[in-house]
Amino acid sequence: DIQMTQSPSSLSASLGDRVTITCRASQDIGNYLTWFQQKPGKSPRRMIYGATNLEDGVPSRFSGSRSGSDYSLTISSLESEDVADYHCLQSIQYPLTFGSGTKLEIK
């Protein structure tokens, strides 16, 4: 199975900060990487797919990138509404595997 190592597990940042969350894949997953945002009591919402493609309706301050086996979700300027858990998912092979999640809070 492909392991997705997500870091950090929690993150506290100030409004306006640039925030980056990373997932490292244990095997080559190409661009088969999705980022989800999950607010308390809500279902996950797809934010980024294909590693770098922004979901329709997602603010442009969100972006996805890849460097080798490292995949990053970046928020260019943190806003209060971005407080949530963030999860990555690899979908190149079954079983699909998620990262362990990152809890993002405002400092």
- The contact set with another protein (CB under 8 A) reads 30-34, 36, 43-46, 49-50, 55, 87, 89, 91-92, 94-101
Q: Please say which residue, 59 or 77, places its beta carbon nearer to another protein.
A: 59
Query: Which among 9, 3, 16, 5 has a CA at the least distance from the CA of 107?
Result: 16
Nearer to another protein, 17 or 66 (CB): 66
Residues in the chain: 107
The answer to whether 71 and 33 have CB atoms below 8 angstroms apart is yes
Which is closer to another protein, CB of 17 or CB of 65? 65
| Under 8 Å between Cβ of 54 and 62 | yes
Shortest distance, position 17 Cβ to another protein, whole Å: 24
